[in-house]
Amino acid sequence: MTTPNNKQEAESTPDLSRRKFLGTTAVAGLAGAGLSMGLSACNKGAGGSDAGAASAGAADKAAAAIDYEKYEVHPGKLDTYYAFSSGGHSGEVRVLGIPSGREIKRIPVFNYDCMVGWGITNESKAIIGTKPDGSLKYTTGDTHHVHMSYTNGTYDGKHIFVNDKINARLARIRLDTMECDKILELPNVQGFHGVFPDKCDPVDPKINHTTRVFCGNEFHIPQPNDGRDLEAHEKYFCLFTCVDSETMEPRWQCKVDGNMDLVATSYDGKIACSNQYNTENGVHYEDMMAAERDACVFFHIERIEAAVKAGKTFTIGKSGVPIVDGTKDANKDPKTALTCYVPVPKNPHGVNTSPDGKYYVCAGKLSPTATVIQHDLILKWFEGGLKEPRDTVVAEPEIGLGPLHTGFDGKGSAYTTLFLDSQIVKWSLDAAIKAFKGDKSAKVVQDRIDVHYQPGHGFTSMGETKEPDGKFFLSDNKFSKDRYLPVGPYHPENAQLIDISGDKMQLIHDAPAYPEPHDSIMVRRDIIKTRQIYNLDEFPLAVKNMKDSRVERKGKKVTVYLASQAPTFGLREWKVKKGDEVTIIVTNLDKVEDLTHGFAIPKYNINFVIHPQDTKSVTFIADKPGVFWCYCTNFCHALHLEMRSRMLVEA
């Protein structure tokens, strides 16, 4: 009810209705992009906002009939799936439970984490990388894409690989402890975006597990990028990088035309690919939008590695990584070509491989279409059996405004996020192929559902393996306006879980996400086998007995060997002198699951955790004299507050 006192306030309150919000945002986005008719040409019946508006009321009524109880994960019960999600510009990877949406863990990777001591301990610094003075080389990160290692075409629970777009780094996380164990900085690359592991060897079918990780390159730069060719735009180019998944060292790089976005790999190991924009190789916006189409570039892995072995390579600057030439001009003959550039609508975003290994789906973004490219036709082109790369395209259906990423259910349906329509569209691959051949009766779009709002990545349960189960789709939405309690100008993002097991999709859960996650995978819980306690013998520096706690001095370098066992540390106190370089090695001797100790020193910027049977160390200069209480930061015992030791720094 509006009273005279609040009438003016009510009249000035903005209309927060969903469709007005979307319409305004979409129009603004199109105006900013300088587009006129490209997106508006989409058939509204096949995915325009009008169709979504008409269905909004029906969707609200359908929601009332959903049995939400069957998706509840009650206290003491476990989730069915793990979801591993990139943390975006937090630089981390997050672990969620599905279907609850509960955030279980944050894995620090490219970020500084004062809870676990990532970026503080000597062990973590060695992984992240340091400057000559011992400080971290980088303190920022931007994780985008997370993908697991494979065996027999499905997730094997061994490793997750994740990129850092800002500083062109690839990280590997071991899943038995859910900790990062390797980080590589890619040479000659700026803007490392897409990443995907292979699923088997391209030559030896007996090697049926991940051995390589393929890395895209979004920003082309002069090579070498050492300041000599700042304005020599013809010397700018991008490199596709192959990394050995075990050693985490580069195997080779491939020079390409255009910028690369996301990456996908084939199930037979023969092909890797990346959707591309700026195939013009422009450095300014107007130059990047000059061509009618962009491309999806396909890499013939066996041929590239044969060229590397034959020495048909070059290097850049101080990097010794062999580079092959994958540009169009150098690969005109399909029978010897290393790459194949398939034309697709302008500025695509996302390429995904269907679970049967037959197709690649390249989403249009600025086009309302998804381009379906057939795998065996790519191989046929490389054999010289097709006239044009475009002949590998077998479907290009109109599915809605702003298609970005596609997941699969294993039953022939694809699920694509529509950024501008704020919808997920379910469509049939077979029907799309039939329609492309001229069958006007083929029904391509099977269903669509509103999400809130403007989805980026979306993924299905086990959807990027040969055994997708078709149960859930998780939509990572970039906006959450009006979905949660307001928390100031910077809203959380919104992860929405959708049941895709039936003919009609059902929105069953909202979960706020700390900005800004990009990509995720959903993995059955039985695949992940974690350790609960470390093995003391794995740590060369381990202090294996409380009685072995001691202090050793060699000139100005002091090493403190310290064991911990609730509720005590192995030393009550120890003395050092101002100016000493102090290394403290701490081993947690407790063997009780979940009994983690912390170790913190006031005023010295030191805090880290030590898990059961784990060992960690720190090194610092004792530059402040006085008494400093070293204490346990993780509640571990009834006498936790008394679990302390003194560092005495003599002036």
Q: pTM of the predicted model, to two decimals? A: 0.91
pLDDT at 205: 85
E strands, 152-277, in order: 154-164, 169-174, 179-185, 195-197, 212-215, 221-222, 236-244, 250-256, 259-265, 271-277
Cα–Cα distance for residue pair 194/218, rounded to 1 Å: 8
Q: Which helix (H) or strand (E) holds 645?
A: strand 644-650
> 223, 241, 239: which is closest to 327 by C-alpha?
239
Q: Which helix (DSSP H) or strand (DSSP E) does residue 49 occupy?
A: helix 49-63
Model confidence at 64, pLDDT cuts 50, 70, 90, reads low
pLDDT tens digits along 9-36:
343 334 444 444 444 444 444 433 333 3
- What pLDDT, on the 0 to 100 scale, is given for residue 61? 59
Q: Given this model, what pLDDT does residue 340 score?
A: 98
Residues 506, 134 contacting (CB under 8 angstroms): no
Q: Is 337 helix (H, G, I), strand (E, B) or coil?
A: coil
Res 33: pLDDT? 38
**Largest Cα–Cα separation, the chain:** 87
- Residue the block writes with tokens 């309690």: 485
pLDDT (tens digit per residue) in 399-433: 999 999 999 999 999 999 999 999 999 999 999 99
Confidence of residue 60 (pLDDT cuts 50, 70, 90): low
pLDDT, tens digit (0-9, with 9 covering 90-100), for 109-150: 999 999 999 999 999 999 999 999 999 999 999 999 999 999
Who's near 253: CB < 8 A, 6+ residues apart?
Answer: 187, 188, 239, 240, 241, 242, 321, 322, 323, 324
